[in-house]
Amino acid sequence: MKQTSFASLEYAGKKRQTRREKFLGEMERVVPWSALCGLIEPHYPRSGRVGRPPIGVERMLRMYFLQQWYSLSDEGLEDALYDSQAMREFVGVDLSREQVPDATTLLKFRRLLEQHELTKAIFEKVNAHLGERGLLMREGTLVDATIIAAPSSTKNQDGERDPEMHQAKKGQQYYFGMKAHIGVDADSGLVHSVHVTSANESDVVNTHALLHGQERRVHGDSGYTGVAKREEIIKAQDEGRIRGDIAWLIATKRGVLAAMADGVHKRLAELVEHKKAQIRARVEHPFHIVKNLFGHKKVSYRGLAKNRARMYSLFALANLAMAKRPLLRPAGVSAS
């Protein structure tokens, strides 16, 4: 049995629990650690007869998740682990006996996840776990997209902007970066599909990549106008990948509403649009968690592949954060 250090005993005996401790304690309980480690272990280097033995998969996964939750660089996470007892407790590092794994070790682990597309597998495994708990209903889907900014400066080693990022206009402002498209369960608000493109790609063009095939209703803002007639959607319906009787509940453009004559019909149309907007509002919560709570408002890497891999991780962790209350509830106990 591992002996507890005096520092850990002193830390455990303090009277006040910080918000970071509370959050990490909740994530400790809701993340399906054994299932996620099982995905990674077949690709993880094994201990050889010579050299330093590799750090355990779960410890590296915990470090990687900390990096996503607190938007830290590899070096920043290494420093944070030395600074924060709460983070060290979460990872399982005792400074009286060992050092914190260095930034290079985390870099190699992240590259392993990217190389074998394990972040997508993590996202799917988390959703399977949520589905087993009855949290994904699959009757309706909300679709939306958000722009993640990328550095537009050319003052770098290559002297150019990231060629895989592009400029897009939203309202009266131009943005440079990529776009994260998501499909969200209409009942639970959990993300079931993630798709990443450059910022200049239209939302409606990528709708087919956000549908799981079982939904009867799809909700979207006015950027998805005409989606039912899209070639990609018709092809998917012909091939049986999505239902042919989907109800497309797309917002009416503001100009169309404004042009309507005042009267009963206009008031009724405005009421319908208000109800549709109330349902669609749920799709903003995952974006809020990823961009505001996790601090991922800008891309961290060059190219779409690395950023796509991180998006899968971020939305998997966002799902666990959104579903923590039912997940923390003992089995068989219903919400009051």
Tens digits of residue pLDDT in 235-292: 999 999 999 999 999 999 989 988 999 999 999 999 999 999 999 999 999 999 999 9
| Beta strands at 140-149 and 173-185: parallel, antiparallel or unpaired | antiparallel
pLDDT value at position 1?
39
Residue 178 has pLDDT above 50, yes or no: yes
Position 48, amino acid = G
Tens digits of residue pLDDT in 60-87: 999 999 999 999 999 999 999 999 999 9
pLDDT value at position 157?
72
Q: Is 31 exposed, middle or buried (0-12, 13-18, 19+ CB in 10 A)?
A: buried
The mean-pLDDT minimum among 47-61, 99-113, 252-266, 302-316 falls in: 47-61
Q: Is 183 exposed, middle or buried (0-12, 13-18, 19+ CB in 10 A)?
A: buried
pLDDT value at position 46?
79
- In the chain, what are the domain boundaries? 15-116, 137-300
Question: What mean pLDDT do residues 289-301 have?
Answer: 94
Residue 227 confidence class, pLDDT cut points 50, 70, 90: very high
Q: How far is the C-alpha of 254 from the C-alpha of 250, rounded, in Å?
A: 12
Tens digits of residue pLDDT in 13-28: 666 788 999 999 999 9
